[in-house]
Amino acid sequence: MIVLKERFVMYFRCTFPPATPALEFAAVMPVISLTVNGNPVTVDVEARALLSRVLRDQLDLTGTHVGCDTSQCGACVVHVDGKPVKSCTMLAVQADGENITTIEGLAKDGKLHPMQEAFRENHGLQCGFCTPGMIMTAVALADENPELDEMSVRKGLEGNLCRCTGYQNIIHAVLDGAKAMRS
């Protein structure tokens, strides 16, 4: 990673090359096709656009939250091909051809998903900012592990930060939600 070191030096000496290449490249915008919450969509995106940004700003799916934008908090978690990923840490072009589920895709026919219902019942949220990411992570966790216990829920939620609840009720909610998903 010598390149990274050189960049680091450039960063501090403020000797960035001018951003003109960016403008040239912007002329050839990639087109990507995704399935989002069951619906096929085709969008023009900048190569550098994050999946989180395309979902929120171009597809108007603002349920996916951006908390830190630095891969730490998990508010932006969505499912790509059924697996939870941080949408702020994935380029939209990398998701070309994939099946994406966001928090908006969980409720069916006006009825909350069992995990959403469990968060409501267990007071698993306060301000609600972390909740979409928590729920997307929790749904995948419950899908992958038929036998969840408190420790596996805590480990499974390591990448999701909540500044309000103190986590206790989130853990209760995930355990309850997982049970409801199985029944």
Partner 1 sequence: MYDFTYHRPETLADAEKMFADADDGQYIAGGQTMVPVMKQRLAMPSDIIDLERISDLKGISRDGNVLSIGAMTTHAEVAGSGDVAKAIPALARLADDIGDPAVRNRGTLGGSIANNDPAADYPAALVGLGATIHTTSREIPADDFFTGLFETALEEGEVIVKVSIPVPDKAGYVKFPQPASRFALVGVFVAQIGDSVRVAATGAGPCVFRVEAMEKALEKDFSASALKGISVPGEGLNNDIHASADYRASLISTLARRAVAAAE
Ligand X SMILES: Cc1cc2nc3c(=O)[nH]c(=O)nc-3n(C[C@H](O)[C@H](O)[C@H](O)COP(=O)(O)OP(=O)(O)OC[C@H]3O[C@@H](n4cnc5c(N)ncnc54)[C@H](O)[C@@H]3O)c2cc1C
Using CA atoms, how far apart are residues 28 and 77, in angstroms rounded to an integer?
29
Angle at 165 between CA 164 and CA 167, to 5 degrees: 130
Strands laid side by side in the 77-80 sheet? 39-44, 31-36, 99-101, 77-80, 83-86
The encoded tokens of residue 29 equal 């915008």
Q: Rule CB under 8 A: is residue 22 a binding residue for partner 1?
A: yes
Point out the residue whose Cβ comes nearest to ligand X: 71
One symbol per residue from 143 to 162: x for binding partner 1 (CB under 8 A), - otherwise; what is it? -------------x-xxx--
Q: Rule CB under 8 A: is residue 84 a binding residue for partner 1?
A: yes
Amino acid at 78: V
Q: Rule CB under 6 A: is residue 71 a binding residue for ligand X?
A: yes
Residue closer to ligand X, measured from CB, 26 or 68 = 68
By DSSP bridging, strand 77-80 and strand 39-44 are unpaired
DSSP 158: T
Q: What share of the chain is helix, strand, coil (3-state, %, to 5)?
A: 45, 15, 40
Residue 31 bridge partners (DSSP): 44
Q: Which stretch binds partner 1 (CB under 8 A): 5-13, 34-42, 110-118, 170-178?
A: 5-13
Q: Rule CB under 6 A: is residue 128 a binding residue for ligand FES?
A: yes
The residue from 41, 43, 93, 112 that contacts partner 1 (CB under 8 A) is 93
The encoded tokens of residue 84 equal 């939870």
Q: Rule CB under 8 A: is residue 2 a binding residue for partner 1?
A: yes
Residues in contact with ligand X by CB under 6 A are 1, 71-72
Residues in contact with ligand FES by CB under 6 A are 66-69, 71-76, 86, 88, 125-130, 162-165
Residues in contact with partner 1 by CB under 8 A are 1-5, 7-8, 11, 16-17, 19, 21-23, 25-26, 28, 30, 46-48, 50, 69-72, 74, 77, 80, 83-86, 89-91, 93-94, 96, 137, 140-141, 156, 158-160
